[in-house]
Chain A
């Protein structure tokens, strides 16, 4: 049973879509200029009748390609004069024969069955016989032909033979393959229906398939020779039907049972279909139910379902698939049963699951509750899946003109394979033709002839965007069946196209969320085919959205607000002190669980059950993740969660959770619906904030960040600083219990070890100890040409050596030790000890057992110390780290989601926080918390309404073609005809999807006439080729996030903007600016850097812009200067991000030297998106969205020492400008 099977549908435009049971969106099949009428499928094999009434086959999703071995035996006889010779006796077999010698298997005449096949290599000899090696010619010998062949030549060997083998491969995988028509002229007897089944025929060989079709002349055809290794089969066989029967639809069940539907609405059933007689014996007739006419019928294993012309649904009871071939009553069933619902078409899938198209809404419905015991099911559920955009959108796909891309490749196909043409047998009768007909018999008109001159495709664009159809339909439109070769659309590159078969690859994600687009158009379906669809009734696919009947207006209704208000004030009416009241029952907390999916790091997903436990009295909670079978996967301790934020993408509502103490990687969870995601998100934010005792407005000292999906995160160091501060000294105790000191215990010193820092270690020494050390170390450095990292700098090495009766203090600089300083042994074996290292301006003061022991002068800056390491045979009791500033590690930083929705955020030291939304409006933080999705948390204060407008752009691209002018038919190498600005991603208007349910469209698509560079009157821009500087037609629309309550309030008015005077040296336009104290730095549009001189309080505009020397790329190897993307200025340095994403720092910026002194470069190979610095705080977001903090930044060492990872996740912007040093 496959966990990933496909449901097929045809929409009202004849386009084929597939919905995978493991996904929740419809994916369109590659559109090849051909609509389809009907489909029939078993897993991996899809047969269809095209709009040209010809039959097409689509083979897909096979992991192992279809390979067939062709064999031919070359026979020779020993003749007295010639030796072994190909001249054989007249009674002998053919020179090239089959193994038994009865058939002529001349190698030249063994050809590919159709052009859907390709040879894999040339003919080769088989050099073994039953496992024994043969000589290099591959001959095996025998007395005479019907005898046993052996590997060696003997005196009596009169004949010999060798075996030639060659493999052919079905190459038309994942593409439509035309099946040859019945007659030379395909229009002579077109097809009206086709059905495949028989994949579970009782006792039949594995791979058996059964294909039946109906022609427009009412003939029933059986396709002989169809199997999984021969998907096209061999030929059509006519099956006679009783006179007077005019058949219109046929359905083959998985057991091979065939039901035909007559135009009169009655049903005929083929009896006697068994594995030995797949065509059956004769027809039986079944009355239609209650004198109604049947419109559509579908046969399953033990069922048949039908829809009558009055749209009623009928179930045929009493069918037994296993004995249908032998028993008439099992084949015909015993009676009709009416099922509720009104449908127009019905299809039975694997396990007798039923899908149907609704009568009124033309939606796809699934019959839920069908089990082997209850084949009629319980009720109809609507399949609600999103649409995924396709390369050619539904309504923009121009009916293929003659100069279609398919034709290009068709011609090349024919040109490059001349030998195939010659191979084709002209005398094949059409009745039993293979599916590769011959070009000679079916001359295709050359495009130039077929196309009348001057007939130009005129596109009539309706600006309302409602209809968009090309007016010209060439009546001689190219049809794949005329294409000779049976392989259609190979050039569509099924591998590189995100087709239906690579599940969930269709995520188009870009740096800019605004470019994300997914389809959400309403489609009306004409046909559904479930034959390949395996729905697990226990684990229903995520196709059925929760139905919710919350009238959104209820939330703001007067009566609801009144009820809520009254409820809140229930106990407030009388003034009694409720604090003395005990709790009646000790509450055990509550749990909440739901089914969701874990998203693994490689984007694969696994089902899981989330279970949240929370006890608000004890302030404890856990989030447990179970596998669907109930086994536990992991449990997260909620107090250790550092952040929760939404990482939803259109169509997949997700959140991510970081618990650095428990799990290194981010936990990503996808929920079934957006509602559920919002509820869980809100609950988790609420609980984790409660645990961390956070609510309301964060302090001015906070760091703010914005995630990819617009959530605003805040880390507030204040609550933590209140807890641990004593006389300006912050102390942190490390958890050392149970640590293995013998192997070495290393822990990070978050604030480095500047003067004023102290570390104290207590413990007891083992009796057999020989030496131990305490190191104050620098960062791990990756050495050039080495894989592993190592510590190269150890500013203080304190080594107690009992065997030498001494303590050795030393410093390691760039990997080499300096001069040792030796002192007497202060401690004894087997005793308790305490060692305290205090950093002073000049020296380390070392105290042992509470007594001064020695001094050690700094040889390296103590600021470069990033960690402490203890190693030796001893037991640690405590380890205390004190610093003059707050000590807080990444695993202790709780990032609270504040609410609202922004693209950029910037804070300042006085607590003012501003933000920018997509529509470039500026918002001011109100000091509230919650709102919007976070409806349960916080109070109502400071919640305002927030709106945002986002503009979606798609580009329509066309290519000029000598015949037809500009058309939407591109070259295979071209960009998508509807694309984003880069052309790398497909975008269509119809399938552009809103980011979430809080967004609404506010306008129709419009053409942008204001594209930089100018456009013509229709909005087109021109270029010589696609990668050239050029845009197609840009069409945009706006969507709006309205009705959102949020903690951000729009700023109206405000102070007048100070306009600087224009001087000769004014940069044309600025893309980034940063100020600090009295300096202003800015980045010009070409990536050059300026500072504004002489900015003072009296003259805040300054005097003029001065250019600053550009940093160099690839320092120190090259001297090419590089563009700057952004700048963040502090009192003494400017941090800039270069165009290649690396960071450079302009040092020694001061009042006297406003442009700084020199560029320094960070050499760690990380690329950055954003950096924000203030004082000695430097925070940055690297290219993958992770938030990093620079450690060891001091006035002397402005570059700091190393990056510390704070949050893994999709962040876009950070502001540390509120941090005071």
Chain B
């Protein structure tokens, strides 16, 4: 059970300053809109936190676009809403931090080939739950979610290794390269040879035997390579129960 309150508090309270700017081609008014500055929870998703921002920009865009789906880009790269915000930042700005994070807001030219449509917040929830279920399957062969009812899902916390102290079956972890490609493999929290706790270093050597000096980043920090994976999963997972790690 993760009970390192001090650390969990940092994770759960983690916020990111973001500066939203309306894309130039969207602006239909003579007056330039002010950029919209906001602190955004790292653990959240963009569709859940952009309502205020959308209202701020709506009056500057042409009326016919006001109902079309908004999307964001950073440096010309569209941002996938189904990833947690903190992870997207780590992915795009991990190596050269930019604060505030300047994002461009679009209401037209939705990049259908790159982004999923997100018609309403229920879609976010559905996506989130499916990720949690996937994590649960990896962790406990799906025993937790199947015993939960729909109403409980709203109150999800990080699912803990319930019962025995054995830890998870597998660690739900996704590792992303710079280009956003995702690598997911079955990772056991223990070393199969001696049953000791597997560390980040162990996993790296396992997954990238040819690479040297691989570092992993999540929640805006680089993870010390001797961190045990089980602990990492319990404490540094996103609410979807996955460790989203960026290679750097």
Contact = CB atoms under 8 A, between A and B. Distances in A.
Nearest to B221: A566
B1 A564 contact: no
Interface residues of A, number: 36
Interface in B128-164: 161, 163-164
A574 interface: yes
Interface stretch (A397-405, A477-485, A553-561): A553-561
Interface of B: 1-7, 9-11, 14-17, 37-41, 44, 48-53, 97, 99-100, 161, 163-165, 167, 219-224, 226-228, 230-231, 236
B161 A936 contact: no
Given A582-B52, A682-B5, A549 B165 contact: yes
A570 B221 contact: yes
Contacts of A547: 1, 163-165
A96 B230 CA distance: 83
A404 B28 CA distance: 103
Given A549-B1, A559-B227, A682-B5, A584 B40 contact: yes
A310 interface: no
Contact of B6 (A546, A564, A581, A675): A564
A672 to B, nearest CB: 13
Interface of A: 379, 381, 546-551, 554-555, 558-560, 562-564, 566-568, 570-571, 573-574, 576, 578, 580-585, 675, 679, 682, 935-936
B99 A581 contact: no
A-B CB proximity, top 9 nearest:
A559-B224, A566-B221, A584-B49, A567-B10, A549-B165, A570-B220, A574-B99, A559-B227, A581-B39
A546 B161 CA distance: 11
B100 A576 contact: yes
A571 B99 contact: yes
A580 B5 CA distance: 28
A512 to B, nearest CB: 32
A9 B143 CA distance: 33
Contacts of A574: 97, 99
A546 B221 contact: no
A555 B8 CA distance: 12
Contact of B224 (A381, A551, A563, A936): A563
A936 B40 CA distance: 23
B44 A559 contact: no
A546 B5 CA distance: 17
Given A571-B99, A576-B100, A585-B44, A558 B224 contact: yes
A582 B221 contact: no
Nearest to B164: A547
Contacts of B49: 584-585
Given A547-B163, A550-B1, A581-B38, A571 B6 contact: no
A825 B219 CA distance: 76
Contact of B41 (A554, A571, A584): A584
Given A573-B97, A574-B97, A563 B223 contact: yes
B125 to A, nearest CB: 15
A562 B6 contact: no
21 contacts: A381-B163, A548-B3, A549-B167, A550-B2, A558-B224, A558-B226, A559-B223, A559-B227, A560-B7, A563-B227, A564-B6, A564-B10, A570-B14, A570-B220, A571-B99, A576-B17, A576-B99, A584-B38, A584-B52, A585-B51, A679-B3
A548 B231 CA distance: 12
B38 A549 contact: no
Contact of B48 (A559, A560, A585): A585
Given A550-B2, A563-B224, 9 more contacts: A560-B231, A563-B236, A567-B10, A567-B219, A568-B10, A574-B99, A584-B38, A584-B40, A584-B44
A551 B228 CA distance: 11
B161 A581 contact: no
A582 B99 contact: no
Contacts of B1: 546-550
A567 B226 contact: no
A573 B96 CA distance: 11
A923 B44 CA distance: 46
A567 B17 contact: no
A34 B44 CA distance: 66
A861 B4 CA distance: 59
Given A582-B38, A584-B49, A585-B48, A550 B4 contact: yes
A562 B53 CA distance: 35
A675 B37 CA distance: 40
Contacts of B100: 576, 581
Contacts of A568: 10
A936 B9 contact: yes
A397 B27 CA distance: 90
A567 B11 contact: yes
A232 to B, nearest CB: 44
A543 to B, nearest CB: 15
A560 B5 CA distance: 13
A549 B165 CA distance: 6
A573 B40 contact: no
Contact of B3 (A578, A580, A675): A675
A292 to B, nearest CB: 26
Nearest to A585: B49
Contacts of A381: 163
A571 B219 CA distance: 11
Nearest to A592: B157
A566 B51 CA distance: 31
A581 B48 contact: no
Contacts of A548: 1, 3, 165
B52 to A, nearest CB: 7
A935 B5 contact: yes
A563 B51 CA distance: 32
A581 B3 contact: no
Nearest to A547: B165
Contacts of B40: 584
A532 to B, nearest CB: 27
B101 to A, nearest CB: 11
B221 to A, nearest CB: 4
A581 B6 CA distance: 25
Contacts of A546: 1
B31 to A, nearest CB: 20
A550 B97 CA distance: 33
Contacts of B16: 571
A563 B100 CA distance: 22
A580 B1 CA distance: 37
A583 B4 contact: no
Nearest to B167: A549
Contacts of A555: 4
A170 to B, nearest CB: 44
Contacts of A551: 231
Contacts of B220: 566-567, 570
A647 B26 CA distance: 63
A679 B10 contact: no
A567 B52 CA distance: 27
Contacts of B4: 550, 554-555, 560
A550 B16 CA distance: 29
Contacts of B230: 549
B16 to A, nearest CB: 8
Contacts of A564: 6-7, 10
B86 to A, nearest CB: 9
